[in-house]
Structure 1
Amino acid sequence: MGPRETGGAIGTLDHIAQSIPDVLTTRIGTRVMRREYGSLLPELIDHPFNDVTRLRAYSATVMALMRWETRISLSRVQFRGASLQGKSELDLEGSVVDSNEAFSMSIPLQLGGSV
């Protein structure tokens, strides 16, 4: 079990790593007290994973993280490994704003129709 389940203390980068998937996978309008929280990425789940959807996904990712995860500055967003089952990974690179510490992380995503 990780800190999310145990309530243990974590560092800034670990907290950001927990926060990013939460922001990106939360559909806008689903949080009762924070209706604007989340991203448009979940809206793209059933879209064909082509170049247009890929650009929309990049845009949804950048816009959501600029608004809801202000502790980071992104320098690169890339999808890789999209499979027929819609599984892909979102690679993010950037830096932590306060410390200028570089970070790189991969977030598993489910886009496109699933089996």
Structure 2
Amino acid sequence: MAGIKMYLTSIENSIKDILLTPLGARVMRPNYGSRLFELVDKRVDDEYKAKLTRYVVEAIHKNEPRVRVKRLKFESLTNHKLSYKIELSSGELINVA
């Protein structure tokens, strides 16, 4: 069971690194990262959530072949910070705050 937890932890860390790295920021890996930085200081509405979903799924699909995203679950919007969970096809949830 410990091996499974380590595996999921490494996937979670990998996904968070991918999402926090602006696309093009790594010189030797220009396609690594996400477009989430484009959403900074934008109004959180339905269009924002659609773009967020697209950017998250796109980045994980390109950079983390061990998993597939099933959907994003939007949790809350507090102090201009959107919290959401990434549900993987395996049923695992990754919290993103």
TM-score by length of 1: 0.73
CA contact (8 A) 1:29 1:36 kept: yes
- Match in the other structure for 1:22: 17
Q: Distance in 2 between matches of 1:36 and 1:63?
A: 11
Q: Which has the larger radius of gyration?
A: 1
Amino acid at match of 1:62: V
Residue 104 of structure 1 deviates from its aligned partner by: 1.3
What is the Cα deviation at residue 80 of structure 1?
A: 2.0
What SS is found at the alignment partner of 1:82? Answer: strand
Q: Is 1:91–2:80 an aligned residue pair?
A: no
What SS is found at the alignment partner of 1:102? coil
Identity %: 31
Residues 34-74 of structure 1, C-alpha deviations (whole Å, 9 max, x = no match) = 11111111110111111111100000001111111111122
Relative to structure 2, which stretch is displaced further, 68-77 or 55-64? 68-77
Q: Which has the higher contact order (CA 8 A, sep 6+)?
A: 1
The residue correspondences of 1:20-99 to structure 2 (distance < 5 A) are 20-83=15-78, 85-95=79-89
Q: How many angstroms apart in 1 are the aligned matches of 2:22 and 2:69?
A: 21
Aligned to 1:103: 92
Return 5+ residue gaps in structure 2 as ranges: none
Structure 1: 5+ residue stretches without partners: 1-9, 96-100, 109-115
With normalisation by structure 2, the TM-score equals 0.85
How far residue 25 of structure 1 moved from its aligned partner, in angstroms, is 1.4
- Kindly tell me the number of residue pairs found equivalent between the two proteins: 93
More helix by share: 2
Which portions of structure 1, spanning 4 or more consecutive aligned residues, are displaced by more than 2 angstroms?
A: none
Q: Distance in 2 between matches of 1:80 and 1:45?
A: 18
- Residue 68 of structure 1 aligns with an amino acid whose one-letter code is N
The CA RMSD measured in Å over matched residues stands at 1.5
Distance in 2 between the 1:89 and 1:67 partners?
23
